[in-house]
A = this chain, B = another copy of it.
Amino acid sequence: MKIGQLGEFGLIARISSRVGNSGGVITGIGDDAAVTALSPGMQLLTSTDMLLEEVHFRRLWHDPYLLGRKSLAVSISDIAAMGGIPRWALLSLAVPPDISLEVLDAFTRGFLDMAAGHGVALIGGDTCSSRAGLVISVTIMGEQEPARIVRRSGACPDDDIWVTGTLGDAALGLALLEKRAHSPVLTTEEREYLISRLLDPLPRAAVGRALAEAGLVSAMIDVSDGLLADFGHIAEQSALGGTIRLDSIPLSPAFRSSLRSGPASGHDLALAGGEDYELVFTAPADNREKIVQLMKRCGIDATPIGIVTPSPEVTAVLADGSRYVPQRHGFNHFA
């Protein structure tokens, strides 16, 4: 069947028939607005992301199921970065005529699987036809107790700078897809791992929430534009700076394999490459042991990679203390 036969309302019915019940949803898809109820004492967290074909993704590279997962994952990551509990999502789709119903179904399945994995209910959205590429717009809502919400602005001088997981994998995955990077030393598994970090990122929802609810962190952000750019937002909004130790940045085995044969600027992908959707957070040095223990319980690695400084500059330093200046500095639309 084609989308033209199904029509706008058929498409909405097809998607909504796959949505399960979920907590806090009073009225879901199908009215002028969705009705939801926050848990008592909670504040509302809201974020929105737009993904455009040929700007944020290529249909040629991106399996529609994984694209559906990623479309929600990047939004869940924003709630995680506030220490919130993701709850509800709105999904808007502008669909070009050459997209088949099978592709849309796979996309929807991916989106709803990601939602179910994080306790998120799809409560509404918008669908329309597009004359130029698939456009995906996702709004996510979450909640958290006011005192637990972690902002970018809370970093203090001498706080440790931490990062979860490993950095640079998604940027290297993109370079491999774009054939900018040639790494004959990579195994097929390593190559697939790196590309999957780009195409199927896993938001650190449980970790962000656990850190916030334990009261261990002073500021937090997710790595979407690149470590330097994203920590730069923490620094700017906290009116501070930071020093990041290049050799402390956690790198995956696959990324290290590529570094051995790659150019000297390979580290730039870890410093300035975006889309890892790891969490960068700051915390007093006294919390170090507690953070390590909490991360163990979450089954996630977190690594201290630097220190917050009073001077409002963000710098990367090499092992000998000398300054390292990367050749790129994070993603900026329009630039």
A contact set with B: CB distance below 8 Å: 3-4, 6-9, 11, 26-27, 30-38, 43-50, 52, 54-56, 77-79, 81-82, 84, 88, 90, 92, 94-95, 123-133, 135, 137, 139-142, 146, 149, 151-153, 220-222, 237, 332-335
The residues of B that contact A94 with a CB separation of less than 8 Å are 50, 52, 55, 135
Closest 6 CB pairs of A and B: A132-B132, A137-B137, A32-B81, A33-B47, A8-B333, A33-B45
Given known A-B contacts A78-B32, A94-B55, A334 and B152 have beta carbons under 8 A apart: no
The residues of B that contact A140 with a CB separation of less than 8 Å are 33
Contact B128 A333 (CB under 8 A): yes
Rounded to whole angstroms, the CA-CA distance of A151 and B33 in the bound complex is 9
The residues of B that contact A135 with a CB separation of less than 8 Å are 50, 52, 94, 135, 137
The residues of B that contact A9 with a CB separation of less than 8 Å are 332
The residues of B that contact A3 with a CB separation of less than 8 Å are 334
Rounded to whole angstroms, the CA-CA distance of A262 and B137 in the bound complex is 41
Can you list 19 A-B contacts (CB < 8 A)?
A4-B334, A8-B335, A26-B43, A30-B152, A31-B151, A32-B79, A33-B46, A33-B142, A38-B44, A44-B44, A47-B90, A50-B126, A52-B130, A55-B94, A55-B128, A55-B130, A126-B137, A127-B333, A132-B132
Q: Smallest CB-CB separation from A92: which chain B residue? A: B50
Rounded to whole angstroms, the CA-CA distance of A153 and B35 in the bound complex is 14
The residues of B that contact A139 with a CB separation of less than 8 Å are 46, 48, 90, 139
Q: Smallest CB-CB separation from A141: which chain B residue? A: B46
The residues of B that contact A95 with a CB separation of less than 8 Å are 334
Rounded to whole angstroms, the CA-CA distance of A126 and B46 in the bound complex is 12
Rounded to whole angstroms, the CA-CA distance of A123 and B54 in the bound complex is 28
Known pairs A33-B140, A38-B44, A44-B141. 9 more at Cβ < 8 A?
A: A7-B332, A11-B334, A30-B237, A32-B47, A32-B221, A33-B142, A37-B43, A46-B124, A90-B139
The residues of B that contact A49 with a CB separation of less than 8 Å are 92, 126
A155 nearest CB across to chain B (Å): 13
Contact B52 A43 (CB under 8 A): no
The residue in A36, A78, A333 that gathers the most chain B C-beta atoms within 10 A of its C-beta is A333
